[in-house]
Amino acid sequence: MLIYLNKTCFNGLYRVNKQGQFNVPFGHRKKPTICDEGNLQAASKALVGVKIFSGDYLKILGKYAKPGDFIFLDPPYHPVSSYADFKRYTKEFFYEEDHIDLRDEVDRLVQLGCHVLLTNSTTDFVRKLYEGYNYVAIDTKRNISSNAETRTGQDLVVIATKPQEKTKSLLSLRGKHILENFPGTRYMGSKYRVLPFIWDVVKELHFDSVLDVFSGSACVSYMFKQQGKRVISNDCINRSKPHSMIGAWRTP
């Protein structure tokens, strides 16, 4: 069934909707080869003695990865534009916090003694995540776009083979008071799990006050308050006036 879908759908794309249902439209191939017998037999021979597991990548790596292993990671790419939709290959999206979890796992694997190669898009977010590791941007061809003139792009190839001080310093924030005194949420749009990344990006800037225009769960405001900043937090959904957190929330 998977081969049939791959050969008959639009440009061989695999994507599902929020219900987990395949939702790629029909392709335009007139005589697609559904059963390439010789190729299938060759693949069968190549997979003799090979174990294939299906499951959460963190659980698989946590159980089987060992020092000296070579590990290739090809996650859903971080969107390069507001119209890009390559972060949903299951009914769940792959959010920024998931990319941070992936980076944390890369750090763990490298500390373990594994050799990791990872691909992703060349966005500023991804470059920031893996700064300190060696990486190279490679021009690639995209076969997904309906417009042939836009089928070019770049992949970022990250080579992670040894511990990096930069990412370790970012990870160390998780064990400090920035998070432990604020309840975690899973509200859509909450930045709770990306607070260490946000702070790492702005901590070198010189500022005394912060305006959190769309505070939502207020975890970003709380983080800056914990860092001794004067915070003005506005909850536009509640339609209330912005209020200063300079005295309302005190650092424990």
- pLDDT of residue 252 exceeding 50: no
Q: Are 119 and 135 in contact (CB under 8 A)?
A: no
Q: Give residue 120's pLDDT band: very low, low, confident or very high (50, 70, 90).
A: very high
Q: Are 151 and 143 in contact (CB under 8 A)?
A: yes
pLDDT: which is higher, 239 or 109 = 109
| Cα(102)–Cα(73) distance, integer angstroms | 9
User: Which residues have C-beta within 8 Å of that of residue 194, sequence separation ≥ 6?
Assistant: 96, 97, 100
Q: Give residue 115's pLDDT band: very low, low, confident or very high (50, 70, 90).
A: very high
**Domain positions in the chain:** 1-51, 53-163, 176-244
* The pLDDT value given to residue 185: 62
- pLDDT of residue 118 exceeding 90: yes
In one letter, which amino acid is 102?
A: L
Q: Where do the H-state alpha helices sit in 113-187?
A: 124-129, 165-171, 177-180
Asked whether the whole model's pTM tops 0.85, one would answer: no
- pLDDT of residue 44 exceeding 80: yes
* The pLDDT value given to residue 96: 84
Q: Do domains 1-51 and 53-163 have the same CATH topology?
A: no
* The pLDDT value given to residue 246: 44
3-state DSSP call for residue 105? helix
| CATH number, domain 1-51 | 1.10.1020.10
User: Domain 53-163 adopts which CATH fold?
Assistant: Rossmann fold (3.40.50)
- Between helices 195-202 and 96-112, what is the axis angle to 10°? 90
- Percent above pLDDT 70 for the chain: 71
